[in-house]
Amino acid sequence: QIPPPISPKQDPQQALTQQIDYYFSLENLIRDIYLRKNMDTEGWVSLSLILNFKRVKIIINGIQNSLESDQEVSSIILETVKNCQNLEINYLNEKDAESATIDDVNLRVKDNFEQWLL
């Protein structure tokens, strides 16, 4: 099931959460070979990869239009990822949720990541 189109009335943060959750859903992982090819041996993919997906870029563009700075956008993205239900977050470079930047974040499906490795 493809996520519904982004409604102008929908909160962009909520839309971003739903979209990222969708990428890590059973429905998507069954056929998303590109995402699976980009997983490392432990199932992790970089947040940067996800942020380059077309639908995500559209949502982020909406967020950027309502904010003053790129730093705010990064903070919102990092906060939004924490609200996703279908994934685990791994902070790299000895960072944590407070100090991480987008480049310090890897994501993987929450349950049974092994079954999605190629």
Query: Would 94 be classed as within a structural domain?
Result: yes
Query: Would 24 be classed as within a structural domain?
Result: yes
- CB-based contacts of 21-29 (< 8 A; 24+ apart in sequence): 21/84, 21/85, 21/86, 21/87, 23/50, 23/53, 24/84, 24/86, 24/87, 24/107, 24/108, 24/109, 24/110, 25/86, 27/1, 29/109, 29/116
- pLDDT at 6 exceeding the cut of 60: no
Query: Would 5 be classed as within a structural domain?
Result: no
pTM for the model: 0.86
- Tens-digit pLDDT profile for residues 31-79: 999 999 999 999 999 999 999 999 999 999 988 887 777 778 899 999 9
| Total number of domains constituting the chain | 1
Burial of 69 (0-12, 13-18, 19+ CB in 10 A): exposed
Query: Would 59 be classed as within a structural domain?
Result: yes
Query: Would 7 be classed as within a structural domain?
Result: no
With bands split at pLDDT 50, 70 and 90, how would you rate the model's confidence at 116? very high
Mean residue pLDDT of the chain comes to: 90
| CATH code for position 78 | 1.10.10.10
Average pLDDT for residues 100-107, to the nearest whole number? Answer: 96
Query: Would 46 be classed as within a structural domain?
Result: yes
Using alpha carbons, select from 57, 52, 45 the residue that is nearest to residue 86. 45
